[in-house]
A and B are shown apart, each in its own frame.
Chain A
């Protein structure tokens, strides 16, 4: 294996994907869910054996009741997802009642049907704004704490690369991982209408932690090998460390991805996208810990060497 040798290739691959992600984020943006924008989400299910009304019909029914611009989406489980501005409890009841009475049959033959309310969420705009802020602070806080921790953890290794540079590179790697995860969701938001909610933020933060975890394992090995072999052949030492930790990195990510895949496919609709965010982030994180973080260490060392 010649991971370090081909590093330009990894840089180009990653650069392209990260670039595409940034463009996707700039052009499409993330589709923010009601957690951040405020609004209401109502999921209902129609009883078996009844012709479910069209999304447009439901929309018309609700608009007649004075519910402003509802967005209706039929689900594959005999139901409908209805998004609106944040509803008061009265408006919520009115909506549910309207759904119950307006269905089934034409004209005079309309029958009230037991539409089951699966879930209802209503989030005031103030709360949405607060959560947006909090999510931002949390991201920043995690970043700072992790850099501090790595700098402290690697404080004894300062040759030939200063310990804080491990921290900086670990952060570059995690920005890479989280950036791509965000990019994927910007595209998913555009193409499939997937919204970014609080769960996504939790996933992104977990990816932060996991990405650093992966990177640290490789760095830890470099740290150990440097201590044993000295810093004479930095490039070779890094390459050796990558090889030594390669199987471990792949295997641990693989086991984690196995459990995440199980949750993605069998865990139900409500955590599906949460799981996908983790899958993307952790997958990319494993790649970056091997092919980006360690090569960057070498590149940085050579850059300094050349100038000296």
Chain B
């Protein structure tokens, strides 16, 4: 017995057998449909979308507006928001992943068992992008067109004519001033806040209150009670002016009470470039929002509460923009642009607008769910209805079972006793693999089942290699025990090399982001690894243990006839 050292001692064989037995019991317990409750939750097989129905959506994130350093975090933020929205859909075990390929950032959303994909897409794609913007205006300075010049000249001539007619009337009858002013004056200030006309009355004023031409007429040219005998032209147009009275104030400065009738001159249609500028404040700093009702109008409004960052930013923005408008944009549309009265501390804001209660609620909810930091676009969609998924599951299950049975029949028929042992090994193998699927957990897809079934074939391969080798050794006249040891020893290099090349392929396949390919690669990898383990421990320990029993030592158990060779057992 030169090989004695290489052979396992009886004690170790028994120990290994006990180990394998315990493993088998654990694996069977884990693998049976109603798995035990060891880990705080029921262990069960996770079925992929193609087996239980559901949707697989791929979104492209538009990061063109995000500085390159912030892209990862912006996309991650988007992922979180989508996850919150998806969770709100009530889908069990949704999955949202980010995926970067080349320069493209993608978001993969898997919704198992979702019944209304269309609705889900709507919910996910809804982008309540909340933005706070301040504005700067720049008057558009455009040259007058010849048409506009013509228009201006005609308009101004007509206005001057109207003004002259009015002036003549007032000159003739100064008491008609008030009526004329109320009828004709184009000074918007002639109407008070309640819509009452002032009769052109300007009230008391000191020097410096009016434009120079107007001031000169009122303060210097005219005396109390006098109406100017000619039209006074200012930048606004043509005025008929009357100085009513004058007085000195406490410091001795002159105050004049006057009135006027304004005929406006032509104005270039105002073109102001209003530029809304992004502030750093956005939906990102929003802590929560709620629907409230304006106590005065009863209108629904949306109350916003910012987080600490947001509160500081809001304070800063309002401080810098007192007296100016700060606009709130939702999805790129301006919904409210209140004028800031004073600096606002404490991080509270209210959006008023013409909402219905339902609209306000919806906006508030989607704001709570979170605004998407970056816009997304659906680029790929795969959805499987529940009927097809169920059919696929049943079919592939039946097919796997048939495949397994065929292998079983073949192995027992061809290899007899070792074949039977390899079937037991395969049983253990199957249970261990299913347990791993449950515990990892591996999401089982149709292609995953195919990978698993293929790995059964490969697990058998390892056994066949070993058995063929044992047979050879037996024909060569070795003892049964020596043949078994030698068979394992010599078959190992082929098993190893062959499986490693399969593993290389499987690893490359795993780098595909596609779940179909990934599912196949993962189950194939697990299958191959477990098959290597089961071939060199389970098969081996069974063979060694049972071959030491007298009754299994007859050559016919090993699929060889005694006539062919003299076998010394």
Contacts and interface: CB of A to CB of B under 8 A. Distances in A.
A12 B511 CA distance: 38
B90 to A, nearest CB: 20
A169 interface: no
B450 A267 contact: yes
A244 interface: yes
Given A213-B498, A258-B406, A259-B457, A206 B380 contact: no
Nearest to B495: A217
Interface string B475-512: 00000000000000010011001111111111011011
B502 A213 contact: yes
Interface string B371-410: 0000000111111110110011001101110111011001
Main secondary structure of the interface of B (DSSP, over half): helix
A163 interface: no
Contact of B516 (A124, A146, A199, A221): A199
Which of A205, A252, A259, A265 has the most chain B CB within a 10 Å cutoff?
A259
A259 B454 contact: yes
Contacts of A117: 383, 385
B383 A142 contact: no
Interface string A101-140: 0000000000000001111111110110011001000100
B383 A119 contact: yes
Nearest to A117: B385
A220 B410 contact: no
B301 to A, nearest CB: 33
B501 A213 contact: yes
A66 B382 CA distance: 22
A187 to B, nearest CB: 23
Interface in B43-102: 50, 58, 60, 101-102
Contacts of B60: 124, 126
B338 to A, nearest CB: 36
Given A206-B505, A259-B403, A217 B383 contact: no
B456 interface: yes
Contacts of B384: 118-119
B456 A142 contact: no
Contact of B514 (A89, A120, A198, A255): A198
Contacts of A252: 457, 460-461, 464-465
B121 interface: yes
Main secondary structure of the interface of A (DSSP, over half): helix
Given A216-B494, A244-B472, A271-B396, A255 B461 contact: yes
A202 B517 contact: yes
B450 A198 contact: no
A252 to B, nearest CB: 4
Given A126-B60, A127-B380, 11 more contacts: A124-B379, A130-B102, A138-B511, A202-B509, A209-B504, A213-B458, A256-B457, A258-B407, A258-B457, A260-B454, A270-B392
17 contacts: A124-B380, A149-B497, A205-B505, A213-B498, A213-B501, A213-B502, A216-B497, A248-B465, A248-B468, A251-B414, A255-B457, A259-B404, A259-B406, A259-B457, A263-B450, A267-B449, A270-B50
Interface of B: 50, 58, 60, 101-102, 104, 117-118, 121, 378-385, 387-388, 391-392, 395-396, 398-400, 402-404, 406-407, 410-411, 414, 446-447, 449-450, 453-454, 456-458, 460-461, 464-465, 468, 472, 490, 493-494, 497-506, 508-509, 511-512, 514, 516-517, 520-521, 524
Interface of A: 43, 45, 88-89, 92-93, 116-124, 126-127, 130-131, 134, 138, 141-142, 145-146, 149-150, 153, 198-199, 201-202, 205-206, 208-210, 212-214, 216-217, 220-221, 224, 244-245, 247-248, 251-252, 254-263, 265-268, 270-271, 274-275, 278
